[in-house]
Amino acid sequence: MAEEMKVIVFALGREEYGIEVDKVRTIERMMPITRVPKTPDFVKGVINLRGVVIPVIDLRGRFGLEETEPGDNSRIIIVAAADLEVGFIVDSANDVMDLMSDTIENPPEVVGGVKAKYLSGVAKLDGNRLLILLNLAEVLNRSEIIQLERVVE
C-alpha cells in the first residue's frame, strides 16, 4: 500500500521542489544576513533567529543555478540537517502537499539543471506538473555540515 508523505512546496525559478514537512522547522521572511568570510559562495552568511545563530545558504547557488536578488516572495526555509539547523533561501514557499509514495519516481540524471545526487525523487502531480524532492543529506553533505558548524561557533 502506498504511504502518504507531507511536503513543503517551494519554487526556484520555474521549478517546484519539495522537502518533507518533518525536516522543516519554520519558514521565515527574508531578514538581514551577516556575511561570514571564507565560506563557499552559496553560503550567504548567518541569521539570528530568536537567539539562535543559523547558517543560510542560497539553494540557487548550491545547485549551480543563476542566483538572483531576493524578492518580496523570497523565503528562508529553516531545515534540520543532522544536528544542525540551516536556512535555505528560496524564491517562494507556496504550499503544503500530501504525496502518495507511489507517485514518486527515481530522479533522472538532471532536472531543471539540478544534478540527481541532490534529489531523492520526482513526484508526478496533476497534469504535467512535476515536484522535485530534495535529498537533504546530499544538499548538505557531511564536510559542508562540519564547515557550517564552524561558522556557527
Residue 1 lies in a domain: no
Dihedral pair phi/psi, residue 26, rounded to 5°: -165, 160
Nearest C-alpha neighbor of 134 from the set 17, 14, 5, 15: 17
pLDDT band for position 79 (cuts 50, 70, 90) = very high
Tens of pLDDT, residues 99-121: 988 889 887 766 655 667 778 88
Range of the domain at 63: 6-152
d(CA 93, CA 89): 10
pTM for the model stands at: 0.87
> DSSP class of residue 39?
S
- What the block records as the C-alpha cell of 53 is 545563530
Tens of pLDDT, residues 34-69: 998 888 888 899 999 999 999 999 998 888 888 889
- What the block records as the C-alpha cell of 73 is 516572495
- CATH of residue 40: 2.40.50.180
* pLDDT for the residue 40: 80
